[in-house]
């Protein structure tokens, strides 16, 4: 019987280290997994991918399970170390227990934390697929302990809905950035799609005033100008569209006229003028582009109340959305 006790202690220690490695690695792999690829596999009928996607849609259950599992592993490891000190030394003091804990801490850290995290970091999908069944077993076994943690999280979200929505928006944006980055890496996004995603995430939320031409730099003429004056002005500045301002003020822009219409349409000039949609200064670039597209106009005037601040073009806004920008994975969140 004398050799059974040390063997049991050793087995208990190894089980604790193995559980620590499993839950620590799984947590790292979960945050490193390619969700676009996983989603495609799940839609193709892959049962393992569907199982992992369930956790991806409900991350609180996955995190709670790994948290409880890590605590269980740490308890088993420390219990095995304390028991092993009793078996080896025979008499336990505070100094001997601290000494043995310090001696075995590097072993626990290396094989229970560092090594598995590195493995799951390098091959998250393959390792999570391999261990998905075992993780589901632990999920159901640890559910009585992990469910209260999930319940506390949901209760906190109900008590502070505004904070919960802010966290959801932040996490949602982070997940979208991750999806776009991984989608490009996996070949799911073309260069144009990737640039558009960059533009929507980085450029579109900016105020439209960042893209407008100030009112004193707009190329245009008075509403009282005749055809010859408009054509001469267009040739001088090589512009196919000429902005129109009220006669009372050189900076009160309100319409524009296309040079092709001036050349080919015999109607009176005022009938050729196209009124610019009015855009508030607080509007985002994407909102401004959307309004211009809905109204079918290529220019809009940014007005703060009755004061004209500048003119913005739909072409310029579109070019900014497709302009190469900071890679999604490198932008600050």
23 pLDDT more than 80: yes
Long-range contacts of 311-319 (CB under 8 A, 24+ apart): 311/212, 311/213, 311/215, 311/218, 311/243, 311/253, 311/276, 312/208, 312/211, 312/212, 312/213, 312/279, 312/288, 313/213, 314/289, 316/211, 317/208, 317/211, 317/285, 317/288, 317/289, 317/292, 318/289
The least confident of 65-79, 82-96, 268-282 is 82-96
Average pLDDT over residues 317-325: 67
168 pLDDT more than 60: no
**According to CATH, where is 3.10.580.10 located in the chain?**
160-333
Regarding the domain delimited by 160-333, which CATH topology (the fold level of the hierarchy) does it fall under? CBS-domain (3.10.580)
15 pLDDT more than 80: yes
Average pLDDT over residues 291-312: 91
Q: Do residues 87 and 169 make contact, with C-beta atoms less than 8 angstroms apart?
A: no
Q: pLDDT tens digits, residue range 209-239?
A: 888 999 989 989 999 999 999 999 999 999 9
Radius of gyration of the CA atoms of the chain, in A: 32
How many CB atoms are closer than 10 A to CB 288?
24
The least confident of 32-41, 189-198, 270-279 is 189-198
The least confident of 29-33, 57-61, 96-100, 186-190 is 186-190
pTM strictly above 0.85: no
Give the pLDDT of residue 69.
93
288 pLDDT more than 50: yes
The least confident of 86-95, 137-146, 162-171, 313-322 is 162-171
Q: Do residues 255 and 223 make contact, with C-beta atoms less than 8 angstroms apart?
A: yes
Share of the chain above pLDDT 90, in %: 33
331 pLDDT more than 60: no
């Amino acid at each position: 019987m004398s050799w059974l006790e040390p063997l049991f202690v050793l087995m208990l220690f190894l089980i604790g280290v193995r559980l620590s490695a499993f839950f620590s690695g799984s947590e790292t792999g979960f945050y490193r997994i390619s969700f676009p690829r996983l989603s495609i596999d799940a839609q193709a009928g892959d049962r393992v991918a569907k199982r992992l996607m369930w956790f991806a849609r409900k991350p609180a259950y996955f995190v709670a399970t790994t948290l409880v599992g890590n605590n269980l592993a740490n308890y088993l490891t420390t219990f095995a170390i304390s028991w092993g000190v009793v078996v080896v030394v025979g008499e336990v003091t505070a100094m001997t227990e601290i000494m043995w804990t310090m001696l075995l801490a590097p072993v626990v850290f290396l094989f229970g934390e560092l090594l598995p995290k590195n493995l799951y970091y390098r091959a998250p999908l393959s390792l999570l697929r391999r261990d998905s069944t075992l993780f589901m077993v632990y999920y159901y076994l640890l559910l009585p302990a992990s469910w209260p943690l999930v319940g506390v999280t949901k209760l906190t979200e109900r008590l502070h809905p505004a904070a919960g929505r802010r966290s959801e928006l932040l996490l949602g944006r982070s997940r979208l950035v991750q999806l776009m980055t991984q989608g490009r890496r996996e070949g799911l996004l073309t260069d144009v799609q990737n640039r558009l995603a960059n533009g929507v995430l980085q450029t579109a939320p900016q105020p439209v005033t960042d893209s407008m031409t100030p009112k004193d730099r707009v190329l245009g003429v008075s509403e009282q100008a005749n055809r010859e004056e408009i054509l001469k002005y267009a040739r001088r500045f090589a512009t196919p569209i000429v902005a129109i301002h009220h006669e009372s003020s050189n900076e009160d822009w309100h319409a524009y006229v296309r040079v092709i219409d001036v050349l080919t349409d015999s109607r009176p000039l005022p009938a050729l003028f196209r009124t610019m949609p009015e855009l508030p200064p607080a509007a985002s670039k994407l909102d401004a582009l959307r309004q211009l597209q809905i109204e079918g106009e290529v220019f809009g005037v940014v007005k703060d109340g009755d004061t004209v601040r500048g003119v913005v073009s739909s072409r310029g806004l579109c070019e900014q959305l497709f302009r190469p920008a900071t890679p999604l994975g490198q932008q600050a969140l």
